[in-house]
Amino acid sequence: MVVIRAGSTADAAQVAAVQREGWFAAYEGIIPGEIIDRVTAPDDGARVRQSFRTRPWQRMIVAMASGANAGVIGYASFGADGRVAELYALYVRPAWWSTGTGRALMERVLARSAGNGYSAITLWVLRDNRRARRFYERAGFTPDGATNVLTGLGNVIELRYRRSLESLAEQLEGLVAMTDARQIAATYFEAWRADPVPVANWMHVEDGKIARIQVAFDARGIAGGS
Ligand SMILES: CC(C)(COP(=O)(O)OP(=O)(O)OC[C@H]1O[C@@H](n2cnc3c(N)ncnc32)[C@H](O)[C@@H]1OP(=O)(O)O)[C@@H](O)C(=O)NCCC(=O)NCCS
């Protein structure tokens, strides 16, 4: 079974190992092997721990497998610069590719970013990383035209992808509103039964039945009526 949970500095060594494995498997033939070896050289997670310290806005989630292959089998790091969220990295151990782990991590990143109020999310992917590009396109991302040359990695080209989070945010808001509205309706209905009035605060009653309930949520998620 695979569980997604928040990552911390305690996961740093395992996250670094996933990254190193992922780089060798995905970038072979794209980035020279000696560069991969140098950039991802084993350091017991020191670089990952440092990124937690120097990039406090960055969030990390990890995919954990139980059983014989227990431990971190994938991770994603993400954050935001202004109004747009960014997926910084998403790696799954090659032995776990095509098991739905990447998709589970991606869904959590999208839900968290939409839930935090971001209207769009971007990411950078190597132009020649076909597998990752296909994966991102299935997740609703499209290239937005921006490109970059990574001189430190042997002049490889990366492309920026972008995806709107609007529809996801609406779905999440709808879900919250539906759940809470039902609860609020039941509370008001009980109150109205005890003391029937034609219009009870935000609950409009016609012919002894609830005709309409208006519920709004403020920025803190506290329900109110209008
Ligand atoms: C890209 C990567 C994260 C994908 O992870 P993964 O665990 O293999 O992905 P999943 O198993 O969730 O998805 C793979 C399958 O699910 C399906 N799938 C995934 N997301 C989907 C979606 N949103 N909608 C429909 N189908 C989807 C695809 O059919 C895909 O099938 P295939 O692998 O047989 O072609 C992984 O290959 C990886 O770590 N690569 C190396 C690192 C890398 O390149 N990272 C990107 C750096 S920018």
3-state secondary structure of 98: coil
**How much is the pLDDT for 181?**
57
Q: Which atom of ligand 1 is nearest to the CA of 123?
A: 48
Residues 148-169, mean pLDDT to the nearest whole number: 94
Q: Is residue 14 in contact with ligand 1, taking CB distance under 6 Å?
A: no
Domains in the chain, CATH or no CATH each: 2-164 (3.40.630.30), 169-224 (no CATH)
Q: Is residue 31 in contact with ligand 1, taking CB distance under 6 Å?
A: no
Q: What is the mean pLDDT of the chain?
A: 85
pLDDT at 35 exceeding the cut of 70: yes
Residues 25-48, mean pLDDT to the nearest whole number: 96
Q: Which atom of ligand 1 is nearest to the CA of 25?
A: 41
Tell me: the pLDDT tens digits for 37-48? 999 999 999 999
**How much is the pLDDT for 210?**
65
Starting at the edge strand that comes first in sequence, how are the strands of the sheet with 142-150 ordered?
Answer: 2-6, 59-65, 71-81, 84-92, 120-126, 156-164, 142-150
**How much is the pLDDT for 70?**
76
Least confident of 114-123, 132-141, 198-207: 198-207
Q: State the burial class of residue 80 (Cβ atoms within 10 Å of its Cβ: 0-12, 13-18, 19+).
A: middle
Distance 67 CA to ligand 1 centre (A): 22
| Total Cβ atoms within 10 A of residue 79 | 17
Pocket probe mutation, ligand 1, options 24, 103, 156, max atoms within 8 Å of Cβ: 103
Tell me: the pLDDT tens digits for 142-158? 999 999 999 999 999 99
**How much is the pLDDT for 221?**
47
Pocket probe mutation, ligand 1, options 27, 91, 98, max atoms within 8 Å of Cβ: 98
Tell me: the pLDDT tens digits for 57-69? 899 999 999 876 6
Tell me: the pLDDT tens digits for 184-216? 566 656 655 665 554 444 556 666 666 666 555
Give the span between the Cα atoms of 67 and 46, in whole angstroms.
27
